[in-house]
Structure 1
Amino acid sequence: MINNEWLKRDDYRYFYTIPTRWNDNDQFGHLNNVIYYRLYEAVIIQYVTEAGIDWMQDRVIPFTAESQCRFLRAVSFPDVLDVGLRVTKVGRSSVNYALALFRQGEDEAAAIGHWVYVYVDRETQRPQPIPEAIRQAMQRDF
């Protein structure tokens, strides 16, 4: 669930900078809603990759189980965005993240979000315990 208190840059522990693209804008001149989710997913993938998961080889991989976005104010090309991530809960097989989009140089979020990954067996797609290396990285940043 989205925490409305996490609106400031200092509320997040990990950032990934992503420039917007011309084709990210919709006909109204701001980022299309689906782009916000693409940016949220990008920061999570970068974070989990840096924590040690090998998306192409590992037996246990994360699936998106839930996502939300609250739009606070429009962003558009050519904005460069810092996408913030904070681990909010580490369960047996799932991790919850708080997310936010910030224009570079701004401390107030333009959008905030929530994302849940459930770790599953690549073949059976059944929930599995979070791999220990990933768990340690998530708990370090919790």
Structure 2
Amino acid sequence: MINNEWLKRDDYRYFYTIPTRWNDNDQFGHLNNVIYYRLFEALIVQYLTDAGLDWMQDPVIPYAAESQCRFLRAVSFPDVLDLGVRVMKVGRTSVIYAMAMFRQGEDEAAATGHWVHVYVDRQTQQPMPVPEPIREAMLRDC
């Protein structure tokens, strides 16, 4: 779980910038709660892609085992967001990430969260060790 110590931009190692879209807003004029999770998922997918994971071909792939989001401030279209991630723990078969959402130009997070991945064999769905190239990339980002 992410605590109040992980609210600043400088706490995160990797960033992915994405604009909000008109249809991301709910009837109250701010991002629908589901969109926060979609954006955090996009962040993790991009981070792992940049680390070398081939989502469509690799024999060992990550499955989301847990996710959480803490909403701190409303975000809405047309905000452009910087999504930050930091690897908190790399286990034998799992990884825990801390994530945060920042409006561009702001240092305080609008939302924070965490994500847990368990690595599994694509065919058998059984837990497997985190692939070494991915593990090495993540350990650099702890």
Please tell me the TM-score bracket, short chain as reference. over 0.9
Cross-structure match for 2:140:
140
Provide the C-alpha distance between the structure 2 equivalents of 1:3 and 1:117, rounded to a whole number of angstroms. 20
**For this pair of structures, how many residues does the alignment match?**
142
In structure 1, distance between residues paired with 2:140 and 2:9? 19
Work out the CA distance in 1 between the residues paired with 2:11 and 2:82. Answer: 13
When the two structures are superposed, what TM-score results if normalisation uses the length of structure 2?
0.99
Residue deviations 1:61-97, cap 9 Å, x none? 0000000000000000000000000000000011100
Q: Distance in 1 between matches of 2:3 and 2:131?
A: 27
Q: Contact 1:31–1:75 (CA<8 Å) still a contact in 2? A: yes
Structure 2: segments with no counterpart, 5+ residues: none
Deviation (angstroms), 1:124: 1.1
User: 1:16-27 residue pairs with structure 2 within 5 A?
Assistant: 16-27=16-27
TM-score of the pair, normalised by structure 1: 0.99
Unaligned ranges ≥5, structure 1: none
Counterpart position of 1:101: 101
Mapped partners of 2:55, 2:35: distance in 1: 22
Distance 1:129 1:54 in 2: 16
Letter in 2 for 1:57: Q
